[in-house]
Every structure is written in C-alpha cells, then in structure tokens.
A and B are shown apart, each in its own frame.
Chain A
C-alpha cells in the first residue's frame, strides 16, 4: 500500500492534492446540508421573520448551487487527472521493461508476472478503483469526524450507541473479509486462463489451423466450461455477499431507529439533557444517520481498496525488479576488433539446472568470419547473447581485444556490435528510421547504398513515400506491409548501417528465397569487408564462405576448423549435417 502511494505521488502529485481537496469539499457539502436546515426550521417554528427567512433560504439555495459548481470543476480536473495517472503507470511499466536486466525478459515467470500486472490495470480497472476507494475513504473520514463533533454537542450517549452498532457492523464485515480475500485470490488464475482461451479468438496466428483442423468446437467447449465454472463460483460468493449486505442494512436501520428514538426523547423530555428544538431534532437525526451510513461505507471502501491493492501486487512486484546492473566498466571500445576470446565460459539460464554452455573456449582473430553450427538447442544463440552482454556467464570470461567485455563502458561496447537475431523486430517507424535507428537520415547516401546492396531498391522505389513510408499497419493504417523477405532485408540493412566492427547474424536469410539469399551471400564478403563476423545458420552452405566453423554439440565445443578440414572427418556431426543437405543438390552431370 505504501509503495503504491509513493509511486502515485511521484507520478502525479497535483492529482493527489486535487483528490484530497475534493474529499474535503465533499465533506463540507454534507455537513453544510445538515446544519443549515436546522436554523431555517427553528426560525419557521419561531419568529417567522421574513428577512431572516429570506437570508436563510437564500443561504441554502446558494450553497447548493456553489457546491454544484465546485463539483463540475472537480469532475473536469479529476477525470483528466485520473487518465494522466493511468498513463503514467503504463509509462512506468514501459520504462521498467526497457531498463530491466535482459534475463527477466526471457524468463516465463516474469512474462507471466507482467501479464498479471497489466491485466489488473486494464481489465479490472484496479488503479481506478483504488483511487476512487482511497478518495472516498478520506472523504468519509473527514465527514465522520465533523459529524462526530456535531453529535457530541448533543450527547455522548448517542455516540456510544452508534459506535456499538458500528462495531457490530465491522465485526460482521471482517469475518466476511477473509472469505472475500481468499475468494478473489482463487479467482485470479481462473480469470487469466479464461483470458487465454478467449484471447485465442483474437490472435491471428492460430486462425488458419483452427479452421483447417476444425478446432472451433473444442475451443468453444472449453469456453463454455470455464463460463460455467466461473459462474458457479461467483454465485456462491454473491449469495453470501447478499446476506452480509442485507445484514448491514438491518444494522443501518437499527442505527436510524436508535437515532430517532434517542433524539426524539430529547425533544419531549428533559431527563437526559436540555430539551432540544424540532430544528435541532432534524439536524441531529440527519447527522446520526449520515454518520452511520458513512461509517459503513468507510468499511466497505477500505475492504474494496485493499482487495484492489492485491490485484496490483504483480504490478508492484514487477516495478521493483532490479534494473540492469550498473557496471563500473569505464574503458572505451576501440574501433577495431583485434581478437575475441571465450575462456572456460559456462552458462545456464536462470531457473534451469541444465548448462546450455559448458566450458566453452575458443578464439576469433580480428577480421575473421566465423560460422557457428550445431543442432537446434545446442546453444548457438545463447553464445551470441552472452557476447552481446544480454546475459552474464556463470563462470569463465569473455575477452575482446584482451579486455573482459564487462570492463568496457556499456554504451561504448554496444556501439561496436551490430546484430540481427532470428526473431528480429521492426518498428512502426519509417523505413529510413528502421535502418538508421535515428530520426535524421534525409541526406543519407549510406542508406540508399545499403538498400541497393540488400536488394530492396526496386521495392523502395515503388513506394509512394519511398524511405519515408511507415512500416506496418498497427500504428497507422497508411503504413505498408512488407513480406517476410523484405522485412528481413531491412533488418540486415539496419545491422550493416551501424557499421560496427563486429557483426553477428543469426539465421539472417531464413525467410529469403534462393536468389535473394544468394545475393546476400555474394555480397557478404563486400558487406562485411574488414569486419569480424559471426554467422549462424542451418543452411550449411553458408559455412563454406566463412574462414572457420565452430561446431557446438550439447553445449560444448566439439570442433573449430575450416570447412575443408572438417569435411575430412567423415564421422563428425559436421560432415553428417553438410552431406545431408548437400546430397539434395547433387547435380546430375548433364
């Protein structure tokens, strides 16, 4: 709770202040509406002085109008303030995701945590409900205090009676609250799973399979089952809630009866204190009733708020994740790569027991082109992630130009690596921006040259906005859709634009047809001239134009040599991989 408040305060202090002021004003309204009529009634019963009546009547009318005006002002400010706060929260979340240590992003636990965090905010309106709950609580508290003051001026006896009944209310409530808490905790996972199945209806990826394999019925059946389960659970809960709320009602009525009874007595007899006027009767009864109602509301608000706060637990947990460690590395990376070394590097993913890489050692000379080869799951991509400082080795060290990579200043190091991953992503920026990762690219001959090198010139020329075309329709429906191959070419251009001395390509041509792929291969030497390059691919043909091939099997380096030498070892995995693919291309001598 505390951390939530401090985050909200930091996010939007003016909103919080506004909420407090609003609470105060709403209480004031209630109190004024209780006090003023007393004077009017007493005057009507007494002197009936027209001037006095006019003044009192006008006071009531004007106060109502003024409060309404204030209400309108507040409504405007508060709605905007609330939207701002909600967006701020999303921004905080976004910031966190950008800055958090990369290992979290590939950890299913944190993926789930994030989903739960945003589910609470988007679907359950947890944030909105908490804010409303807190403000109502403050307003109710202020009101209760003011009313207490009024009631005390009559008699403490009444207050005691009322407090007793309120105590009764709270006792019933707290015994229900535990049940309520448990119930909602148990519902969260069911809701999420339900959300998964419903979500399948909206994802476009599975739709072809769903139709072609007639899965519609199976899916709908699952939805029906979940519907029933959810409803059965909720029915039990709401029935119980209904009884409890009914009981509160009874207690409320009891409070009103006590109030009327006691205050009435004070009107007709002076046994318990001085007689009071009928005007006062009205005032005290209204105060008493309001007091009881407000206290009950208070109880409910607090419970609702706490319940909602629990929904925010995942959000809080996620926000407090540690960000990328500040490495104290201060060295600036040089422009040239002279050597890369892995020394006894071992690594396993957090939360897993299996070592993905075991005692890996190898060296790359500056300017060499290396291909990493191995079966699926052998650890090739993991090696790259370690080199990119996305993960830290569990043991062993990685050296570049003789220094441990963590000795280099982070940004300086990153500047000197260009990577294309297998699951690369393009952004809804313009084509030019996607390549240059920079807003200014207008006069860039470099981009045009690259576009031609990767074979995109024709496509770009055919676009009405050329380089300024937005990619994808998610952001703007005037964006262009690119095919898988075209997207991949842009990703390649992006890596090349960076002009870094080390370039890493992970399956960069998987979506390209043979001719496009051949173009990339042909130009590869020119494209990466002088740079150090690491190439991962399942297409064994690519390993032929590399200087050496690093063969990884079960997380260990099994061999590291040129293609020609490796092919001599006829019983090695490499030989098997290569020939399996090669034999399909045997040209019959024409």
Chain B
C-alpha cells in the first residue's frame, strides 16, 4: 500500500495562475467582477424573508408600501447582480477551456518531438499516465482545476462571512457545523487514500479490460474472429475482466459507505445543536424573523461548506494530474541533442565503432561489438534473417536510438554531437510502413505547410511516376489525403502509397538514403519500378537498402549480412557467392524456384 503522494500543491497552483498572467490577463478582471457578484448574491435571499417577517410582526403598523418597496428592491438588485454573475461565468467558461487547449498543444508538441526511444517504451506511458490525462476533459485535470479556482474563492469568502454572522449568534452552532465539515473532509481523505492504494490493481485491471475493449471494437480483428470461431471466447474473457473491474470498484465504494457513518454522526450533532439552540433562543426572546433568517443562513452555509469541501478536495486531487503534467513538460525527453549542424553539400560516411546495443529494459543484445564502415557514395545492401536487427540498424544510424556502448561516427563526427533535428535532416528514409497523414498531397511530400517548393514537388512526383495520377485529382496538389478529414480525400493503393513516400524522400534530398523493406507488399512489376526509382533517388549519395529479397542486392555495391551473432559476411555479391557461406545459401535457396523455368529441385 503506497501512501498518498505528497506533491508541491502550492507550487502547482501558483504555476497554473502564472499561466493565466501570460495567456489571458483579462481573465482577472472577469474573475474579480464575478467574485464580487457571487458573494453579494446570496445575501439578498437571506435578508428578504427576515425583512418581510419583521414587517408582518408590526401588527397594526404594517405598511403595504414598505413591503412593496422591499420586494421591488430585492427584485431589481437581485436581477442585476444575478445576471452579471451568470453571464460572466458562462463567458469565461470558454476562455478557461482555451487555456487547457493551449496546454494540450504543448503536450502534443512534446510527444512528437521527444526522443524516439520513449515511443516504443510501454513504461513511458505508464509513468506519464496521469500527465497525459490531465488535459483530456472539460471537467477534470487542468481545466477542472481552473474552473474551480474561478468559482471557489467566492464560495470561500461567502462562507467566512456567513460563519462570522452565525458565530455572533451562537458559537456552538458554528462549531458543530465545522465539526461536521471536518468529519466529511477526513472521510474524503481516507477514501482517496484507499483508492490510491488500489491504484496499481485498478490500473492493471483497467488495462486488461481495455485490451478486450480494443480487440472487440477493432474491426481488423473481424476476419480472424469469424474464421477461427473465437467470438465466444473473446466475449467471455471481456466479460470476466469487466466483472473483476467492477468488483474492485465495489470495494472502494463499500469503504466510502462504511466511513460515511462517521459523517452521519457528526451531522446529527450539528443538526441537534442547530435546532436545539435556535429553538431555545426563540423561547427566550429571539424574533421569529431572526429565527427564519438564521435557519436559512445555516442551510446556505452548510451547502456552501459542502461545496467548498468538495471543491477543495477536487482541486487537491486533480492538481496531482496537473503536477504530473508539469513534470512531463519540464522533463528533458532528449529533444535537442548536441550542437553540431547538419553536414552540407556532401554525402555521408558512417562508421560503427565497437557498438553494442539492446533495447531499453530488455536483456537481449541486438548488437555486440559491431564494427563496420560505410564509405561515402557506397550502395550497401543489408540482408539477414529475422531478428538480426536490420531495422534496429536504421534506428541507430539515424539517431532514433542511442547506442549503449561504442560510438557511431558520421564523417568522423560522433553522432551524439549533432543536434537531433539537424541529424534527422540528413537522412531520406523510406520505411516499409507507409505513413500518409490527413494533409494535402503537397504537405505530405514537403512535410511542411509553409514555403512549399511547388516545382520541386512536381519534379519528384514525375520521377516516381505519380504525376499523371496527381493531375487527375480535382484539386491537384491541394487534394486532401485520406478520408478522415475530407470525405472526398484520396486513398492511394499500396503501390502508389509507396511511391508517394519515395517522393517524400526525394523532395527532402537528404545527404543519405535508407530504404527499409519498401517492396514487401508490392507485386513484381511495382517492385521493379521501385528498384528503378532507387537509382534515381540515390544518385551519388551513400545509401542503404534493407530487404529480405536478395534480388535487391543486384543494384548495390556491397552486401552486409547480419544474423543473431552480428555482422557475419561483408563483400560484393560475387565475393560472397564465391565464399559459399550463409549469403550463398540464402541466395540460392531464394532463387531456387526461379531457376530454369522452375523445376522443383528436391533437396535431401
């Protein structure tokens, strides 16, 4: 059982408030006006009955005029103040939401610029689980706290004023009221602590339930579930996880209920004191008008205090999310890197020196003491078995991951010295997975919304053979991709999509080109076109081509063959074939069925 997290509450609130200073200082004016109105407003409905009842008790001295005057003033004042209070609260609601959206933007920016290693790290999302929820809704987290900060001061001040007023009548009533309030606070604390102690179990169960939710709601599981008759199994498991989740929640609620009995006790004391004392006072001379007023006052105060407690508990609880969020924003997640700028007007030489690497939180070294060099202008084919780490190589060369031991040098400069963005700018990479986003075609190629070089876009589209296709779009380069944003958006076929990302790589014109399995989903002819494009793409730049399909090695200068042990063979196609080693084996096996009209050679 963990104890409730202690966190710098005041600092967090402070920072939230400072944010308002920066983003929208006018909010203070509104806040001020609202608070004054909200404080004044309750007094009208407390005073009115007292004044009227006093009038009634005058007996023969009753003046209709006075009564009407009282009611009229009530009407006018209450209307004006009430209107102001309501209007400002509503109008400021959006201004507060704007603050949250602004934070959301900051969060987004951080997520897309942070070091890549966090993207693939499940524990990252667990660590920042609360931080990433802080900006998700109107009612909780950052915005929830802001809304409460806006309304609670008025409640607080009114409560104080009412308390003083009541205190002057009877301290005991006030004390019993405070006792009740404190008891409720304590109960809340206890419940929160209990809930917190179950956090791990809760979040684990939530995740499991979530998994089944995702699996059942994800259409792409549909074929398997039907073809392998897994429907009942999956639904049953989903149900089980839900039950467990509900059971955990039941425990928490039960705890809350049990603790609630204390609250009932203090409520009883409070109410007994209230009525007992007031009745006694009336019997001993207090006017009925005052009796009514104080009853109303206590009722109001009790409501106010309950609201106040709820609000403060809420603020305290939700600010933890805000604090985690701020921590997230402040943590250096490796966005910047070193200081060196990108190499200009030259292609790259890559050298691995005694490099060892394993993925964070795993035991398996992908590479151990890897040493090799890719000279400038070389076309290198990297081939190897599954799990040999070919894709990992790409991530290391491009700086998406840092090596554990040894170093990688680019043109003699250690990779760590480069500024990350500058480092990334040097590579034109084409991955197996095509990522086309819901932006215009031009934006998808240039990867920016501003200063797009239209001529260059057309040029690269022409090179990859997509120009005609683009001309056929009604909006040409401005055509939106995907159907999510624009239902007239374009969905390209597999082959066309690959060509588009190659165009993207061409447009970028990086110092070095890397292609990682770009043709595995393409038919033979589309594949051949990509091979052709490769030469276009590459020109004289250093380039790496990764594939299982050894056919690609034909247009490369050198081949590096990796397996679980590391780099095991390196040389030209001819050299490796002569060696009769692993490469030879792989090449002949893969090529076997293509030989001489394809007679199946039965091997022993």
Of A95, A213, A376, A498, chain B has the most CB atoms within 10 Å of the CB of A213
Flag if B586 contacts A260 (CB, 8 Å). no
Flag if A544 contacts B600 (CB, 8 Å). yes
Known: A267-B56, A375-B523. A437 touches B229 (CB 8 A): yes
Min Cβ gap A490→B in Å is 12
A423 at the interface (CB under 8 A from B): yes
List the 9 shortest-distance A-B pairs measured between CB atoms, nearest first. A584-B551, A242-B90, A585-B591, A485-B386, A94-B216, A541-B593, A544-B598, A582-B594, A246-B83
B331 at the interface (CB under 8 A from A): no
Residue-wise interface mask of B (237-269) relative to A, using a CB-CB cutoff of 8 A (1 in contact, 0 not):
011001001100110011011001001100110
> Is the interface on chain B under 10, 10 to 19, 20 to 34, or 35 or more residues?
35 or more
Contact of A218 among B49, B87, B449, B526 (CB under 8 A): B449
Name the residue on B nearest A564 (C-beta).
Answer: B597
- In the bound complex, CA of A414 to CA of B228 (Å): 8
Which chain B residues lie closer than 8 Å to A578 at the CB level?
524, 594, 598
Within B34-87, which residues are at the interface with A (CB < 8 Å)? 45, 48-49, 52-53, 56-57, 62, 64, 67-68, 71-72, 74-75, 78-79, 82-87
Residue-wise interface mask of B (386-408) relative to A, using a CB-CB cutoff of 8 A (1 in contact, 0 not):
11100000010010100000000
A9 at the interface (CB under 8 A from B): no
Name the residue on A nearest B295 (C-beta).
Answer: A37
Within B83-135, which residues are at the interface with A (CB < 8 Å)? 83-91, 93-95, 97-98, 101-102, 104-105, 107-109, 111-113, 116, 119-120, 122-123
A214 at the interface (CB under 8 A from B): yes
Known: A218-B448, A231-B97. A515 touches B589 (CB 8 A): yes
Flag if A577 contacts B525 (CB, 8 Å). yes
> Is the interface on chain A under 10, 10 to 19, 20 to 34, or 35 or more residues?
35 or more
Chain A contact residues, majority secondary structure: helix
- In the bound complex, CA of A108 to CA of B113 (Å): 31
Within A285-323, which residues are at the interface with B (CB < 8 Å)? 285
Known: A249-B79, A376-B526. A201 touches B268 (CB 8 A): no
Which chain A residues lie closer than 8 Å to B27 at the CB level?
none
Known: A250-B82, A581-B551. A205 touches B435 (CB 8 A): yes
B465 at the interface (CB under 8 A from A): no
A209 at the interface (CB under 8 A from B): yes
B230 at the interface (CB under 8 A from A): yes
B416 at the interface (CB under 8 A from A): no
Known: A79-B253, A376-B522, A414-B227. A427 touches B267 (CB 8 A): no
29 pairs of residues in contact across A and B, judged by CB atoms under 8 Å: A72-B263, A75-B256, A75-B257, A76-B254, A80-B246, A80-B253, A91-B235, A91-B238, A208-B116, A213-B508, A215-B112, A215-B437, A219-B108, A220-B109, A234-B94, A234-B97, A241-B90, A242-B86, A261-B67, A268-B56, A425-B220, A427-B230, A474-B211, A513-B384, A515-B585, A541-B598, A567-B598, A577-B525, A581-B551
- In the bound complex, CA of A515 to CA of B581 (Å): 13
A580 at the interface (CB under 8 A from B): yes
Contact of B589 among A198, A256, A518 (CB under 8 A): A518
Name the residue on B nearest A210 (C-beta).
Answer: B112
Which chain A residues lie closer than 8 Å to B62 at the CB level?
268
Flag if A511 contacts B525 (CB, 8 Å). no
Which chain B residues lie closer than 8 Å to A105 at the CB level?
219, 222
Within A459-483, which residues are at the interface with B (CB < 8 Å)? 473-477, 483
Which chain B residues lie closer than 8 Å to A239 at the CB level?
90-91
Which chain B residues lie closer than 8 Å to A486 at the CB level?
386-387
B570 at the interface (CB under 8 A from A): no
Within A504-524, which residues are at the interface with B (CB < 8 Å)? 507, 510-518, 521-522
Which chain B residues lie closer than 8 Å to A84 at the CB level?
246
- In the bound complex, CA of A427 to CA of B600 (Å): 36
- In the bound complex, CA of A72 to CA of B75 (Å): 37
A348 at the interface (CB under 8 A from B): no
B6 at the interface (CB under 8 A from A): no
Known: A76-B254, A98-B234, A544-B598. A65 touches B295 (CB 8 A): no
Flag if A83 contacts B86 (CB, 8 Å). no
Stretch from B153-161, B275-283, B317-325, B471-479 at the A interface:
B275-283
